[in-house]
């Protein structure tokens, strides 16, 4: 793989960019691999990358039923933060945030990481107490956050209205080293690095069955034929329950649509990310000038990638009170993604009842921010049989009652 650099760009510009190679190969599947990862989104590609980088396992195939990064990785609002309340959550999200800081250098691919800071607004007394508690917990966890008052909120985000009649701003939980990254670039960077290590990324290849022998996984049936493997990792977000059913077990998750939208592009007005959890809305401004707006998940199980008018109307109505300038903007695009929600709103990174089959799911509405940490933990689990980062997120916690409750402490789990 040729390294990307300023010199390479200048060289290719001189010859009309005719010398660039494909970023990753599109091979024909082999008959068997040491490991197969089902799902070529950010989490699946990160798992494959760290299997190779950290554990030397490169005879790996990443299988995707659609196109690379075409699921939730390409449908999120790109927020990266680690200010979670519970210790296991803070550990894995902080690992991910720290890896994001140097990911462009590690992958030799610009993921456009922007540590612009994330503000979580406190608009009720309950939220004030909750975020102060989270700030104290973060201090003990080594995660740098602070609770700030309304005046500081206004300084950080001048376009905000802190005196709304229904939702006044009473303060906020501020994480200065949080931010955003380009979601597509994260997937493309990992894919390029995996391909360079000799891994096969196989697109348009849907898994239709999982083969087992004596309670142990032996491979997968796909639309491109049977493929054998010694280890199988399933990282398919909202379709995790479907694939688990193929292997003969059920998961404690439900799939719902989460939606977002962007406005027409405008001049720079906001250089941080703001989350308003009382009204279940959050917003940032993209490099192109669009206001990127996210809202709530649908209240019913579904697999649509469109979302419902109800949540768009509720989200925009509430955000207009907090950001009056939004009322004059037009919506440019609107979309949805299928998210997988657990009862405690925390992920599952675990062995399964099928030997040598592993599952990574349940990230709900907050999966993008966790991609590097999730891949690191999943790769360690698959390669060695255990991971300190993944230990508390096993399937066994639901049977044993060891819940990692982030349903309220993390606001809306974004």
Q: Which residue has the higher pLDDT, 358 or 317?
A: 358
Average pLDDT, the chain: 93
Contact yes or no for 295/315 (Cβ under 8 A)? yes
Domain coordinates in residue numbering, the chain: 25-109+182-252+345-400, 118-179+255-342
Range list of β-strands (E), 322-400? 331-342, 348-351, 357-361
Kindly report which listed range (34-43, 103-112, 246-255, 314-323) carries the lowest average pLDDT score.
314-323
Separation CA 299–CA 308 (nearest Å): 10
| Total-model pTM | 0.94
Average pLDDT over residues 126-138: 95
Fold of 25-109+182-252+345-400: FAD/NAD(P)-binding domain (3.50.50)
- 414 pLDDT tier (thresholds 50, 70, 90): very low
Structure tokens at 263: 């406005």
Give the pLDDT of residue 413: 41
DSSP label of 163: T
For residue 117, what pLDDT is reported? 97
Q: What is the CA radius of gyration of the chain?
A: 21
d(CA 61, CA 186): 19
pLDDT on residue 115: 96
Q: Is residue 400 classed exposed, middle or buried when 0-12, 13-18 and 19+ CB atoms within 10 A define those classes?
A: exposed
371: number of Cβ within 10 Å: 29
- Look up the CATH number of domain 118-179+255-342: 3.30.9.10
Q: Which carries the bigger pLDDT value, residue 13 or residue 279? A: 13
Compute, in degrees rounded to 10, the torsion defined by CA atoms 132, 136, 141, 147.
50
SS3 of the chain: helix, strand, coil, percent, to 5: 35, 25, 40
Alpha helix locations (H) across 85-170?
A: 87-101, 103-107, 125-141, 150-156
Please write the tens of the pLDDT for every residue from 384-403.
999 999 999 999 999 999 99
pLDDT value at 149 more than 80: yes
Residue 288's Cβ-side half-sphere holds a number of Cα atoms within 13 Å equal to: 8
- Tokens matching residue 79: 């927020």
Could you tell me how many residues make up the chain?
Answer: 414
Please give the average per-residue pLDDT across 93-110, as a whole number: 97
What does the pLDDT average to over 373-377?
98
Query: What are the backbone dihedrals phi and psi of residue 261, each rounded to the nearest 5 degrees, phi first?
Result: -155, 160
- The pLDDT of residue 408 is 55
User: What per-residue string of b and e applies to 49-62 under the rule 16 or more CB within 10 Å gives b?
Assistant: bbbbbeeebbbbbb
pLDDT digits (tens, 9 = 90+) for 295-326: 878 878 888 877 677 778 888 888 888 999 99
Q: Which residue has the higher pLDDT, 3 or 188?
A: 188
Query: For residue range 86-101, what is the model confidence (pLDDT) as tens digits?
Result: 999 999 999 999 999 9
pLDDT, tens only, 257-303: 888 999 999 999 999 999 998 877 899 999 999 999 988 788 788 88
pLDDT (0 to 100) of residue 411: 43
| Percent of residues, the chain, with pLDDT higher than 70 | 98
More confident residue, 116 or 305: 116
Task: Tell which residue, 53, 145, 138, has the closest CA to residue 99.
Answer: 53
Q: Three-class SS of residue 212?
A: strand
Cα 84 from Cα 131, distance rounded (Å)? 10
Q: Higher confidence at residue 353 or residue 18? A: 353
Q: Phi first, then psi: give them for residue 343, nearest 5 degrees.
A: -65, -30
Burial tier of 390 (Cβ tally within 10 Å: 0-12, 13-18, 19+): buried
* pLDDT reported for residue 398: 94
Mean pLDDT, residues 40-65: 97
């Amino acid at each position: 793989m040729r390294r990307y650099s300023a010199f390479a760009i200048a060289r290719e510009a001189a010859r009309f960019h005719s010398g660039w190679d494909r970023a990753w190969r599109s091979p024909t599947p082999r008959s068997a691999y040491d490991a197969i990862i089902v799902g070529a989104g950010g989490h699946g590609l990160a798992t494959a990358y760290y299997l190779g980088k950290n554990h030397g396992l490169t005879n790996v195939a990443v299988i995707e039923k659609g196109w690379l990064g075409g699921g939730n990785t390409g449908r999120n609002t790109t927020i990266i933060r680690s200010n979670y309340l519970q210790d296991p959550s803070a550990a894995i999200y902080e690992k991910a945030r720290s890896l994001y800081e140097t990911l462009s250098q590690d992958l030799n691919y610009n993921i456009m990481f922007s540590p612009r800071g994330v503000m979580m607004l406190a608009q009720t007394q309950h939220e004030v107490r909750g975020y102060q508690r989270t700030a104290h917990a973060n201090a003990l966890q080594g995660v740098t956050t602070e609770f700030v008052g309304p005046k500081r909120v206004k300084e950080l985000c001048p376009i905000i209205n802190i005196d709304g009649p229904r939702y006044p701003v009473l303060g906020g939980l501020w994480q200065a080293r949080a931010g955003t990254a380009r979601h597509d670039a994260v997937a493309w960077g990992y894919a390029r690095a995996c391909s360079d290590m000799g891994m096969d990324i196989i697109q348009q290849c849907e898994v239709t069955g999982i083969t087992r022998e004596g309670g142990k996984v032996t491979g997968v049936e796909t639309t491109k034929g049977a493929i054998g493997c010694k280890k199988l990792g399933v990282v398919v977000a909202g379709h995790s329950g479907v694939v688990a059913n193929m292997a003969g077990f059920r998961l404690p998750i439900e799939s719902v649509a989460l939606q977002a939208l962007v406005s027409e592009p405008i001049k720079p007005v906001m250089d941080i990310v703001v989350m308003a959890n009382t009204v279940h809305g959050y917003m940032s401004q993209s490099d192109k000038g669009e206001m990127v707006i996210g809202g709530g998940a649908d209240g019913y199980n579904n697999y649509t990638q469109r979302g419902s008018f109800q949540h768009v109307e509720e989200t925009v109505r509430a955000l207009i009170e907090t950001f009056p300038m939004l009322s004059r903007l037009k919506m440019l695009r609107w979309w949805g993604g299928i998210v997988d929600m657990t009862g405690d709103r925390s992920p599952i990174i675990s062995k399964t009842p099928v030997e040598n089959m592993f599952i990574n799911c349940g990230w709900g509405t907050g999966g993008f921010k966790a991609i590097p940490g999730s891949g690191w933990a999943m790769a360690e689990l698959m390669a060695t049989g255990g991971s300190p980062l993944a230990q508390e997120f096993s399937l066994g916690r639901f049977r044993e009652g060891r819940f990692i409750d982030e349903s309220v402490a993390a606001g809306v789990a974004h």
